[in-house]
Structure 1
Amino acid sequence: MDVSRFPFDEQHCILKFASWTYHGFQVNLSVMTDSVDLSDFIPSSEWELMESKVQLNRLFYRCCDTPFLDVTARLVILRAPTFYFYTMIIPCLWLTILNLLVFLLPAESGDKISLGVTVFLSFSVFMLVISEKVPVAGTIPLLAFYLTVCMGMTSITIFMTVFILNLHHAGPHRKGVPRWLRILTYNVLSLVLCLKPKKGTFLCQCAKKAYEQNGDNSADDTESNYDISIVAGKQNDADECKQKIAEEWKFVAAVLDRFFFWLFLSGNVLYWTEFSEIQNMWK
C-alpha cells in the first residue's frame, strides 16, 4: 500500500486470474463485461470504490507458440478522510493556534514554558495514534510529516520562549541594552508591530546625567549635611538607572515576543497553504 498521502490516499488493487498449467487452447478465459460485477459488493465506511475494470490479456512466451490467457481486474479505492480530518487534523490545527498563544502570554504569568511543553506532548500523542493507524511502509505519511513539522515548530517556540524570558528577567544586574539591539527594537520593530515604549530618557542619558551630578557634587564636600544629600542623590540616580535597565530589557522582550508571534503565524499559514490535500477533500 502507498500511504504517502494518508489520510487522502488512493489505492490501486490489481487482481490477476490465470492458469500457469494450461494454455489458452486448453482453458479458455473470457469476460462478459468491461466492469466488475458489483452485485455482491458490500460498501465500506472507510473506503469508497472509485473505479473497477476488467481486461482479458493474451500473452505469448518464448517457450511455446500457444497463448496464455489471464483476466486482470483493476480496482481503485479512495480512503474516506472525514474521520481523520475531524479527529486528527482539526485538533492539530487548534494545537498549532495554542502554540502561537505562547508568544501572546505575558512573561509575568510564568506559564509560557508550561503551555509550550503541553502542546509538544499533545503532538507526541497524536504521532503515536497515527503510528497505530497507518501500516508500516517505506514512505512517510502526509499527516505524520505534518505532525513532525508541527513538533519541530513547537520545539523552536520553546527555545524562543526561553530566550525571551531570559531577556525579560534580565534585571538591573545586567548591562544596558546594546545600541544595535535598541535601534532594532525601539526604532524598527516597535513601529512595525505598533508597540510604543514608555516615555522617558534612555539609559545612556540617565547614566550620563548621574555621572555629571556625581562629578559636580563630589568637588563640594565640605559640609556633612551636603555630603549626605550627595550620597542620597547618587543612590537615587543609581536606583533610577537600574529601573530603566530593567524596563528597557522588558520592552525588548515584549517586542521580540510579538515579532516571533507574527513570524510563526506566517510560517503556519504558508505551511497550511502547501497542505493542499485538505482542500481537495471538499472538491
Structure 2
Amino acid sequence: MKVIVLLCCAFAVAFGASNSLWNDTDLDTLKTTVLKDYDVHVRPNNYKTATDLWVGMSVLHMEIIEATSTLETHAWIRMNWTDIKMKWDPAKFNGISNLRLSADDVWQPDLTVYNSAEDKIVDHYAKTNKIAYNTGSVLWVPTSKFKTYCSLDLKMWPFDQQKCDIKLGSWTYDAYQLKLVLADSPIELEHYYKNLEWVVVESSAKHNSRKYDCCPEPYEDITFSFTLKRRAPMYKAIAVIPTVAIVFMVLIAFWLPPDAGEKLILNGFACVLVCILLIYFTQLLPVMSAASPLIVSFYSQTLYLLAASLIISAFVINISRKKTQTALPSFIKTVFLDNFIETIFSCKVKSTGKAESTVEDGNAGSDNATQDWIRFAVIIDRIAFVVYVIIFICMGFFHLV
C-alpha cells in the first residue's frame, strides 16, 4: 500500500513539474496573476466611481439601402477605459508592459446601438482581442457591422443627400457608472473604402445625456452623424435623360399634319415608355417614402398630359379627315380663323389641285367647309403645342431645378 502511495506522489510531482515547465513563461505568469479571481461581469471600479469610456469610430464602408430605409456601416469601434484590476509592476514580470487578452477574459462595456435595425441588438462587435496595459488601461478595437434606421428624404432623387445617425450608448449603465467621452479623433475616414454610389461629404460626433421615463438617472450616448451624397451618373442616364425624349415626342406630335395617324402612335409609345419608367421606380424606391421623388411626380403628371394629348390628337384627326358639308360655326371661325390667331400660327391651308377641280365641278362650298375644318384642326394643334411648352417649362422648373 505504501508503495502505491509513493508511486502516486511521484507521478503527481512529475506531472506538476512537467506542467510548470510547459507553461512557465512570463506572459503565462502575468496572465495568471492579473486574472486570478477576476470576475468579467463586475464593473472594474468602486460603485460610486464612474468608469470613463473613450469612444471613437474608424469608418470602413457605408451604404444606404432605400428599400428598408437603413444605413449599413462597416467600421472599427475604438474603446478605451481603465480597469484598476489589471494594474501590475512590469519589473516583476521581466519588463512586460502590455498583455493581449481574448474578448471574454476581462470586463467590457455594454455599448449598444440604440437605433439598430437588426434583430440582435447586443452582438454588434467581433470577438477580437483586447490589449491591457500595466497602468490599467484597456484598449479594444473590434470590427463592427451596424445596420441602423435612417429617415430618408428622396424628394430630390437621384440628386439627393441623406443624413443618417449611429447612436451608441450603454444599455444598463447610467451616467453615474459609465461616463462616455469622445475620443480625440471621434471619426476617422482614413481607411474608408469608396462607395461607387455614395460619398461621405460631412461627418460629426456629439455627446448627449438624457433621462428616460423608466429611470431617474441620466443615460449618455454618442451620436455619430453622416451626410452622404449620391453619385448620379447612371440614374441620370436612366431616369432624367428620357424625360427630354418624352417631352419632344409629345411636342412633335402637335407639328405633324392634322390628319396624320402617327400622332396617336407617337403619343401611345410615349405613354408606354412613361409607364415602364414608373414601374422601374416602384421596384427601385420604397413605396412608403415620406416624400415622393420629384422626378416620379414629373413622370406621373406627364402621363396625364399624354392622355390629354391622345384625346386632342384623336379629335384633330377626326375633324381633319371627315368630309362634311357642314360649314364651320361662325363663332369658331370668328375667334380662330381669319384673324391674328391664324396669322400668328401661320395656319393658312393652300388649296390643292383636287380642290381646284372640285371648284370647277361646282363643289366649291363643300371644299371650303373642309378647308375651314382643317385650318381649325391645325390651330388646335398649334395652341396645344404652346400650352404644353408652357406646362413643361413650369414642371421642369418646379420638379427638376
Alignment TM-score, normalising by the size of structure 2: 0.56
Q: CA 1:112 to 1:66, structure 2 compared with 1: closer, same or farther past 3 Å?
A: closer
Residue in 2 aligned with 1:217?
none
Q: CA RMSD in A?
A: 2.3
Q: Which residue of 2 aligns with 1:127?
A: 278
Indicate which of 180, 185, 189 corresponds to 2:341: 189
Contact 1:189 1:259 in 2 (8 A): no
Measure how far apart 1:246 and its partner are: 1.1
> What is the rounded CA distance, in whole Å, between the counterparts of 1:42 and 1:2 in structure 2?
25
Question: Could you list the per-position Cα deviations for residues 221-253 of structure 1 after superposition, in whole angstroms to 9, with x for gaps in the alignment?
Answer: xxxxxxxxxxxxxx943x221111111111111
* Residues 1:83 and 2:234 aligned together: yes
The answer to which structure has the higher strand fraction is: 2
- Please tell me the residue identity of whatever aligns with 2:376: V
Q: Deviations over 1:125-163 (max 9, x none)?
A: 111111111123243221110100111111111111111
Specify the alignment match of 1:268 in structure 2. Answer: 392
Q: Is the contact between residue 166 and residue 225 of structure 2 (CA under 8 Å) also seen in structure 1?
A: yes
* Match for residue 70 of structure 1 among 221, 224, 230: 221
Note if contact 1:55-1:72 (Cα within 8 Å) is conserved in structure 2.
yes
Report the CA distance shift for 1:171/1:64 in structure 2 as closer, same or farther (over 3 A): closer
The alignment-based identity, stated in percent, is: 21
Query: Which entry has the higher C-alpha Rg, 1 or 2?
Result: 2
Matched with 1:179 is 330
Residue 34 of structure 1 contacts residue 54 of structure 1 at CA under 8 Å; is this kept in 2?
no
Residues 83-111 of structure 1, C-alpha deviations (whole Å, 9 max, x = no match): 21222111121111111111111134321
1:66 deviation in Å? Answer: 4.4
Between the aligned partners of 2:159 and 2:242, the Cα distance in structure 1 is 17
Name which of 299, 315, 338 aligns with 1:147.
299
Matched residue SS, 1:109? coil
Q: 1:135 is paired with a residue of what secondary structure? A: coil
Flag structure 2 segments of 5+ consecutive residues without an equivalent.
1-151, 352-359
| Greater relative contact order (Cα < 8 A, sep 6+) | 1
1:30 corresponds to which letter in structure 2? V
Asked whether the equivalents of residues 34 and 53 of structure 1 are also in contact (C-alpha less than 8 Å), the reply is no
What amino acid is the match of 1:68?
Y
Partner Cα separation in structure 2 for residue 37 and residue 178 of structure 1: 78
Aligned partners of 1:65, 1:263: CA distance in 2, in Å?
65
SS at match of 1:136: coil
Q: Which among 146, 150, 170 is matched to residue 19 of structure 1?
A: 170
C-alpha separation in 2, matches of 1:67 and 1:122:
57
- Rounded Cα–Cα distance in structure 1 between residues aligned with 2:324 and 2:400: 50
The structure where helix makes up a greater share of residues is 1
Aligned residues: 241
**Does structure 2 conserve the Cα–Cα contact (< 8 Å) formed by 1:35 and 1:52?**
no
Please list every run of 5 or more consecutive structure 1 residues that lacks an aligned counterpart in the other structure: 200-234, 278-283
Amino acid at match of 2:378: A
Q: 1:52-108 CA deviation, whole Å, 9 max, x = no partner?
A: 111111334577664422111111112222221222111121111111111111134
Alignment of 1:22-171 (within 5 A): 22-33=173-184, 35-60=186-211, 66-138=217-289, 139-171=291-323
- Secondary structure at the counterpart of residue 58 of structure 1: strand
Deviation at 1:197? 4.7
Report the CA distance shift for 1:54/1:103 in structure 2 as closer, same or farther (over 3 A): same
Separation in 1, partners of 2:156, 2:251: 27
